[in-house]
Amino acid sequence: MTTEQDQWRELGQQLRVDSIRSSSAAASGHPTSSMSAADLMAVLISKYLHYDFGSPDDPRNDHLIFSKGHASPLLYAIYKATGAIGDEEMLTFRKFGSRIEGHPTPVLPWVDVATGSLGQGLPIAVGVALAGKRLDRLPYRVWALCGDSEMAEGSMWEAFEHAGVEGLDNLTAIIDVNRLGQTGETMHGWDLEAYRRRAEAFGWNAITLDGHDVADIDRALTAAVETSGPTVLIARTEKGHGVKAVANQPGRHGKPLDDPDAAIAELGGLRDIHVDVPKPAFEGRPHRFPTAELRLPVYEPGTSEATRKAFGDALVALGRARSEIVAIDGEVGNSTYTEEFAEALPERFFQAYIAEQQMVAMAVGFQVRGWRPFAATFAAFLSRAYDFVRMAAISRANISLVGSHAGVSIGEDGPSQMALEDLASLRAVHGSTVLYPSDANQTAALVPQMADRAGIVFMRTTREKTPILYEPGEAFVIGGARVVRQSPEDAVTLIGAGITLHESIKAADALRSDGIAARVIDLYSVKPIDAETVRAAARETGAIVTVEDHWPEGGIGDAVLEVLAAEQPHPLVTKLAVGGMPTSGTPAELMAAAGIDAHHIAEAARELVSRTGGRERSTSEVGGRRRE
């Protein structure tokens, strides 16, 4: 008669064998990093994980996140053992067209988030666990399998800090301390106490154990479930455990085994154990917050308001109307104006403190559970979480990011606080949306659309108050542009957004007094861009000045040039952007120094018109042909 512990041991061996088989079939992958954690996972999935693999969307399911995403062979071996996938599919690991990818992605319905950039799974697990406690209010548990190498990532300690402060007793981290990183020993090797000291200092329960002793694992997991506060299991393991040729050997990271058949024989051969993972053991539905009708804020044309304030106002309105809206801020809520949401809807506001990686990870974790987060900080500081945003796109996460204090127009604080690369970096995220509203009513109109849009949705807001241009209630769709000045005589087009739209309007006024009619386009949707409006302006005016409070690379100018790439006739295009390192100064001084104020726009327009011949040119002629 086999005991439960024997079954766990056997399952551990099966998970090892299958990790070897899939990576050998792929001729790549990380079997040894999988083998170290196999016993930990065998006990977890047999007794502690509560998950209905037939209903991955059941809100009562636990969450199992492989923070060490390269142990994907182990994860897929688990899926096979549970019956979620078949053996044949498991062996398509890393093959083109297979959903059994090199690192886990949510192409598989049981995978919450993509991992593989180390140090991200645990911070996201904190977000899911926080959703369980404060949003869903359901007693599911979150399990994160972590590598020891990734403990060097600061983001892991942001996660430890937040989980500790929030007292997340529904979160268990399991550190697979196999001692060996990709190239050598980790900082702390098998010094389990080093991890214990750190974890306890950050307010966690820490349990050290032998990660290959199923009784010890069982004891530790029982303790994790019973303790209050977050718990970390610090498990001493061997990389490649069970196969002498690779066990605890350097130089065996990320490689299939040299002799998989011998290894499988050494592990006792193939097995076909099916695991009945416990199903969720409670009843309950996710909590929903009371809602009311959506009443967006309105701003009186002729007055002025900052778009960051309009964002804050609109977010409160949206939150009141929709239960799933939540807000997170990086401890600058009085700058981004999420403070209004915090005051109005405190149950759905989360303080990320000065920890932007954890902020974005929390957002990703919330959306795993169907909540719709808006995470806000200075746009410059979103750069701190760029890898998290990159991975969020691979996770197919639906999150909104809002960055205030864009560009040199913030003034005196100087370049460290100025976002000048945010449009470029966030445009270069797959499937992203990049909005840069120019007016408070427009901002308010866009905020609800952000919550309905798939992917990474970024809004850049402006620190300074700017004139209200549009009537309350005017329609602005993502992917649109607004022509704010237009006439049949237009000899040049000025394209700006945010603060530079207002400079463009001033420039158009100045040009009019020179007898030059200028079209002005509000490119509030930088990605997707309204290609038709831009192309029509190109055809009809033959000359375009783009202007942005951003470095020259990757922003509005490049977005415009891209849609004109194959246009014939092609307009003359002058890109105005911030050319030199800014300093402190007033917004006006800095915009002038950067060459992006009305004066410089008008100058650039005049120069272009002098080359195209302006209105002497008929619209049927080749656009932008030199007339000198």
Single out the residue of 593, 595, 599, 603 in contact with a copy of itself (rule: CB under 8 A): 593
- Which residue in this structure is represented by tokens 């099916």? 274
CB nearer a copy of itself, residue 297 or residue 555: 555
Interatomic CA distance for residues 311 and 233, integer angstroms: 42
CB nearer a copy of itself, residue 110 or residue 299: 110
Interhelix angle 121-130/154-166, nearest 10 degrees: 20
Site for a copy of itself in 445-504 (CB under 8 A): none
Q: Are 523 and 559 in contact (CB under 8 A)?
A: yes
Q: Which two tokens stand for residue 416?
A: 């460290």
Asked whether position 421 contacts a copy of itself by CB under 8 A, the answer is yes
Interatomic CA distance for residues 156 and 424, integer angstroms: 27
Asked whether position 431 contacts a copy of itself by CB under 8 A, the answer is yes
Angle in degrees, CA 337, 339, 345, rounded to 5: 125
| Annotation says 356 is catalytic | yes
Residues in the chain: 628
Interatomic CA distance for residues 70 and 494, integer angstroms: 49
Asked whether position 291 contacts a copy of itself by CB under 8 A, the answer is no
Asked whether position 605 contacts a copy of itself by CB under 8 A, the answer is no
Single out the residue of 25, 152, 215, 273 in contact with a copy of itself (rule: CB under 8 A): 152
> Smallest gap, in angstroms, from Cβ of residue 549 to a copy of itself?
13
Q: Is 237 helix (H, G, I), strand (E, B) or coil?
A: coil
Asked whether position 430 contacts a copy of itself by CB under 8 A, the answer is yes
Interatomic CA distance for residues 587 and 578, integer angstroms: 13
Site for a copy of itself in 529-588 (CB under 8 A): 550-555, 557-559, 561-562, 565-566, 568-570, 572-575, 580-581, 583-586
Site for a copy of itself in 295-334 (CB under 8 A): 329, 331-334
b/e map 478-517, b = 16+ CB within 10 Å: bebbbebbbeeebbbbbbbbbbbbbbbbbbbebbeeeebb
Stretch that binds a copy of itself, among 47-55, 282-290, 356-364, 459-467 (CB under 8 A): 356-364
Site for a copy of itself in 178-197 (CB under 8 A): 181-184, 186-187, 197
Single out the residue of 56, 59, 102, 480 in contact with a copy of itself (rule: CB under 8 A): 102
Angle in degrees, CA 426, 431, 435, rounded to 5: 50
Residue 412 dihedral angles phi and psi, to the nearest 5°: -65, -25
The footprint of a copy of itself on this chain (CB under 8 A) covers a number of residues equal to: 116
Residue closest to 34 by CA, chosen among 278, 262, 215, 252: 252
Asked whether position 354 contacts a copy of itself by CB under 8 A, the answer is yes
Q: Which two tokens stand for residue 243?
A: 């196969």
Site for a copy of itself in 358-417 (CB under 8 A): 358, 380-381, 383-384, 386-387, 390-391, 393-394, 411-417
> Smallest gap, in angstroms, from Cβ of residue 523 to a copy of itself?
15
CB nearer a copy of itself, residue 268 or residue 414: 414
Stretch that binds a copy of itself, among 3-11, 92-100, 277-285, 484-492 (CB under 8 A): 92-100
Interatomic CA distance for residues 271 and 273, integer angstroms: 6
Asked whether position 115 contacts a copy of itself by CB under 8 A, the answer is yes
Interatomic CA distance for residues 74 and 42, integer angstroms: 10
Single out the residue of 25, 353, 531, 621 in contact with a copy of itself (rule: CB under 8 A): 353
Active-site positions read 356
